[in-house]
Chain A
Amino acid sequence: MLARVQSAALVGVDAVPVDVEVDVSSGLPAFAIAGLADASEQDAKERVRAAVKNSQREVPARRIVVNLAPADIHKEGAAYDLPIALGLLLATGQLRPGVLDGQIVVGELALDGRVRPVPGVLAVALLARSLGVRRIIVPEANAAEAAAVAGLPVVPAGSLVEVMQILDGRRAARAVNAPSAVLSPRDEVDFSEVKGQAHAKRALLVAAAGGHHVLLIGPPGGGKTMLARRMPTILPPLSDEEALEVTKIHSVAGLVPPGTGLLCTRPFRAPHHSASRNALVGGGSMPRPGEISLAHHGVLFLDELPEFHRDVLEVLRQPVEEGTITIARVQTTVVFPAGFMLVAAMNPCPCGHFGDPHRLCTCTPPQLDRYRGRISGPLLDRFDLHVEVPRLSPADVVAAPAGESSGTLRARVAAARARQRERFARTRVGCNARMGGRHLRRFCVLNDAAVALLRDALERLYLSARAYDRVLRVARTIADLDDAEQIRTAHVAEAIQYRALDRPAARPPVPQMPASAGVP
């Protein structure tokens, strides 16, 4: 007899429908699963057999064939245990025909018949809603996550026996507490905990307001990490839609804690510089999201930027520009969202004391060049702001004012972002940092005095021509923070201050040699 149960497979961060077909016929006793990756197949057979037996049901000594369709989608993992077991029970008449129609089932089985959590339940629930299914049966640990999708009845499954009783109508499904609609991010850290560093904090406020990527440069122990960690606390709270996307990615990666609904704090990911390419951007034969996708809608912090492998840094160029990462594999090509704010940190030089008034830098100019040369020009170009973070002496720290709290700063960021939304209402640009050349010319019109200042700065401070557009974008954000429609000279001047690495700091060019002027 043939039975069919609907389930789902994960491709990238999305779920696609999968039919689990179970046929039981006479013949030599056998149990075969077609359409599942090799290792997963063997495991699934054993788990299903034991779980069914330990739930006081029977796996008949007949020829059992399970097929997961469509065959061309790579399927692995344990999420098909529960649909296979239910299909088997249907096919052998241990469940009434039709009780599973219009439902999607996922879940891993323990040998004793309990149902274990699986990754990607939110994606499956979103699929279920778009397919218009009657309800969705998920592991109870994932139920809150599935319930975040409004308008979709969720059946939490504790064990195989429980599911069978619910399907038979002998027991009602337990209610699931949908996550509260109000998103209340609770931050463990606050900007007011960072003493001093007024300049760096101001720069981070600007970066947050315009969604700009930032590079922090400073000696070890200066507080770069401390500042970066507080970055998510001044970004506006996640919108419902953003929270759903963030949770979906974390869910696919199996990083949503059991019993949690929507993740409502902005992600902060800080991969170590020894991280591999795949760990960072995602990968595997069936691509899984990497750190940069987990940082979607949040902050990706790369400490010790020059220590990262060069090829790892180079693959960052696409996501930093486009907000997505494309991973091409033999079997499939997946596009993961990766719209993060990049906050990177580096020492000013190998010894770390360059520019420190109290300590001597022992690096030679070639060492300095080599160190800075590890970050390619194109990547360096993606940072709108370069911020120098000095080391404070203990006395300075005690004397320094605490500054504004994250809450105050966040309100200012939110106001500036609101201005940007209004401005870009009819474009596809999300924030100032994403403005292209056309938008720059339209929205960043400078008056004559500001143009003169910017020209002067490019010439006198030997700023590279590439800095021009960056300065314009940042100046636009500073004006937005000021609630000003027109970019003023002071806004441009401040923006120029955040271009530290464009200055030929160590070596001013030799005068009266036009050929070498500006050559780093």
Chain B
Amino acid sequence: MRGDLRPDEPAVAVVGSRRATAAGRVVTERLAAGLARHGVAVVSGLARGIDAVAHRAALEAGGRTVAVLGCGLDVVYPPEHAALLEAIVRQGCVISEFPLGTPPLPGHFPQRNRIIAGLALGVVVVEGDERSGTLSTAGHALDAGREVMAVPGSVLNPLSRAPNGLIRQGAALVESAEDVLAELGLPLQAARTASGEPPELPAGPAALVWQAVAGEPVHIDQVALVTGLPAGEVAAILIDLELRGLVQQLPGKQFVRI
């Protein structure tokens, strides 16, 4: 173990596919950041995709996060998460049940999922297909008497199979950090939410654009088509909204409200 594990602090596991969709990443970001703001530690597995997004969002929101590894503590896997791992050590804790120097073998990951489930009061599954390792985390959680929750996804997305399947089997449907807290009976700590007045909503042509980006992520061309504004103006307005912290740009010029 490296860092500072606090057994008495409330913790929730946020897990999902390594091949996350843009929408999955957005949901994970909000969920983990929300949990962090309410003083809940975010537990995950330092894998690519959802896991990494969850860790990062918790750190960014100033919260604590716990990473459980499928390899020795001195092995960094995946290698590009070296910097992330060090940040987690400083603002949380990195745990492994494997001896130093253990390589990240495929068999280790389902095993470490047991610990992820054990450390948390509940497990939230964001995205995963039917063979996903996240299902094993959910299984361990049930065995250990932990709450299992899932964020529903589009039926067209193969990565919605795991969460939607869990919901069918009785897992709690959650859409936000507040839903998770309510499910676990944890208190809301509004004190740590982003301070200040609500942001000023856009006016004029920007209001049309703001309307157009409600809901699912939309492409910039779609925004132009729906609003009837010229492409150049839409591009300028979206950067403005992005800088004001109202919308977020995803890869492929997709935009979504924050």
A residues adjacent to B (C-beta < 8 A) = 196-199, 201-202, 206, 348, 354-357, 360-362, 364-366, 369, 388, 390, 400-401, 453, 456-457, 460-461, 478, 481, 489-491, 493-494, 496-498, 500, 503, 505-508, 510-513, 516
Q: Does A199 contact B224, Cβ atoms closer than 8 Å? A: yes
Chain A min CB distance to B201 (Å)? 18
Give the docked Cα–Cα distance between A493 and B219 (Å): 18
Complex A-B: 27 CB contacts under 8 Å = A199-B234, A354-B251, A354-B252, A355-B250, A355-B252, A356-B252, A357-B252, A357-B254, A361-B19, A362-B19, A365-B78, A390-B219, A390-B252, A400-B221, A400-B225, A401-B225, A461-B243, A490-B233, A493-B237, A493-B239, A496-B239, A497-B220, A497-B235, A503-B249, A508-B56, A510-B59, A513-B87
Give the docked Cα–Cα distance between A506 and B18 (Å): 13
**Interface residue total, chain B, C-beta cutoff 8 A:** 43
Q: Does B231 contact A202, Cβ atoms closer than 8 Å? A: yes
Give the docked Cα–Cα distance between A497 and B32 (Å): 28
Q: Closest chain B residue to A482 by CB distance?
A: B232
**Among B59, B224, B236, residue most surrounded by chain A Cβ atoms (within 10 Å):** B236
Chain A min CB distance to B144 (Å)? 31
The B216-254 residues at the A interface (CB cut-off 8 A) are 217, 219-221, 224-225, 230-240, 242-243, 249-254
In order of increasing CB-CB distance, the 6 nearest A-B pairs are: A355-B252, A355-B251, A202-B231, A493-B236, A497-B235, A494-B236
- In the complex, chain B residues whose CB is within 8 Å of the CB of A196: 221
Q: Does A360 contact B22, Cβ atoms closer than 8 Å? A: no
Given A457-B239, A457-B243, A493-B235, A360-B21 contact (CB < 8 Å): yes
Instruction: A355-B251, A493-B240 are known; give 17 further A-B pairs, CB within 8 A.
Output: A198-B225, A199-B220, A199-B224, A202-B231, A355-B253, A360-B159, A364-B48, A366-B78, A369-B80, A461-B242, A478-B232, A490-B240, A493-B235, A493-B237, A493-B243, A494-B232, A513-B86
B158 at interface by CB-CB < 8 Å: yes
B79 at interface by CB-CB < 8 Å: yes
- In the complex, chain B residues whose CB is within 8 Å of the CB of A369: 80
Q: Does B251 contact A511, Cβ atoms closer than 8 Å? A: no
B207 at interface by CB-CB < 8 Å: no
Give the docked Cα–Cα distance between A494 and B242 (Å): 12
Q: Closest chain B residue to A478 by CB distance?
A: B232
The B47-95 residues at the A interface (CB cut-off 8 A) are 48, 56, 59-60, 78-80, 83-84, 86-87, 91
Q: Does B78 contact A364, Cβ atoms closer than 8 Å? A: yes
Give the docked Cα–Cα distance between A491 and B19 (Å): 36
- In the complex, chain B residues whose CB is within 8 Å of the CB of A364: 48, 78
Q: Does A511 contact B19, Cβ atoms closer than 8 Å? A: no
Given A461-B242, A510-B59, A512-B87, A199-B252 contact (CB < 8 Å): no
Give the docked Cα–Cα distance between A457 and B245 (Å): 11
Chain A min CB distance to B145 (Å)? 34
Other-chain contact of A198, B23, B84, B91, B231 (Cβ < 8 Å): B231
Give the docked Cα–Cα distance between A354 and B22 (Å): 9
Q: Does A355 contact B83, Cβ atoms closer than 8 Å? A: no
Q: Does A456 contact B243, Cβ atoms closer than 8 Å? A: yes
Chain B min CB distance to A163 (Å)? 60
- In the complex, chain A residues whose CB is within 8 Å of the CB of B79: 366
Q: Closest chain A residue to B230 by CB distance?
A: A202
Chain A min CB distance to B21 (Å)? 7
Q: Does B236 contact A491, Cβ atoms closer than 8 Å? A: yes
- In the complex, chain B residues whose CB is within 8 Å of the CB of A510: 56, 59, 83-84, 87
- In the complex, chain B residues whose CB is within 8 Å of the CB of A201: 231
Chain A min CB distance to B91 (Å)? 7
- In the complex, chain A residues whose CB is within 8 Å of the CB of B231: 198-199, 201-202
- In the complex, chain B residues whose CB is within 8 Å of the CB of A493: 235-237, 239-240, 243
- In the complex, chain B residues whose CB is within 8 Å of the CB of A478: 232
Q: Does B238 contact A497, Cβ atoms closer than 8 Å? A: yes
Q: Does B60 contact A511, Cβ atoms closer than 8 Å? A: yes
Chain B min CB distance to A44 (Å)? 60
- In the complex, chain A residues whose CB is within 8 Å of the CB of B242: 460-461
Give the docked Cα–Cα distance between A510 and B21 (Å): 20
Q: Does A199 contact B235, Cβ atoms closer than 8 Å? A: yes
Give the docked Cα–Cα distance between A81 and B256 (Å): 71
Give the docked Cα–Cα distance between A191 and B234 (Å): 20
- In the complex, chain B residues whose CB is within 8 Å of the CB of A489: 240
Q: Does B238 contact A348, Cβ atoms closer than 8 Å? A: no
- In the complex, chain B residues whose CB is within 8 Å of the CB of A512: 59, 87, 91
Given A362-B19, A494-B232, A500-B253 contact (CB < 8 Å): yes
